Amino acid sequence: MNGTELIIREARESDLPALIALFAADAVGGHGDTTDPAAFGAYKRAFDIIAASSDQTLYVAELDGTAVGTFQTMITTSLNGQGGSSMIVEAVQTRSDLRGQGIGAKMITFCIEDARRRGMRLVQLTSNAARKDAHRFYERLGFKPSHLGFKMALK
């Protein structure tokens, strides 16, 4: 990062093109993300839902005014764990040419510190089974593989 300070802030609507490009450049994710202008409305609708929620926040990691990473947090409260609240971290993405420079670690550390400040009982995330480097990264940050996830595609 060459001494430049990484800024983590809430995403703004004007960040959408850069964030969409981060996701579209991810060949492993398999989410069908695209920079095709015809898809922008779907991203905008999702952004509006996230922005309106008191339990969801979309963030941007920025260097010199350029979005270089993103992640989303969601707060969920359940009866198990004696009614404790948890932070779920989703959609973690760092620009591919900047991986290995500490951006992802700063984003995840931001989440952990925020969860502690808010009194969460845990921070959890999922990672694509094919992302072995990401799994090692999360484990280095203190996460433990504890559950097996299942998904069912509906679209």
Location of structure tokens 């009614």: 83
Q: What share of the chain is helix, strand, coil (3-state, %, to 5)?
A: 40, 25, 35
- Hey, which residues does 86 pair with through a beta bridge? 76, 122
Q: Report how many domains make up the chain.
A: 1
What CATH number did the domain enclosing 126 receive? 3.40.630.30
- 36 three-class SS: coil
Domain around 39: 7-140
In a domain, residue 68? The reply is: yes
Do 69 and 93 meet the contact criterion of CB atoms below 8 Å apart?
Answer: yes
Do 90 and 102 meet the contact criterion of CB atoms below 8 Å apart?
Answer: no
pLDDT at 3: 62
* Per-residue 3-state assignment (H helix, E strand, C coil) for 49-69: HHHHCCCEEEEEEEECCEEEE
pLDDT at 1: 56
Q: How many CA atoms does the CB half-sphere of 56 hold within 13 Å?
A: 13
In a domain, residue 73? The reply is: yes
In a domain, residue 136? The reply is: yes
CA distance 28 to 21: 14
**pLDDT tens column, 99-127:** 889 999 999 999 999 999 999 999 999 98
In a domain, residue 14? The reply is: yes
Query: Low-confidence residues of the chain, pLDDT below 70?
Result: 1-3, 29-30
Please report, for residues 25, 94, 103, 109, the alpha-carbon distance to residue 97 in angstroms, rounded to integers and kept in the order given: 11, 8, 11, 21
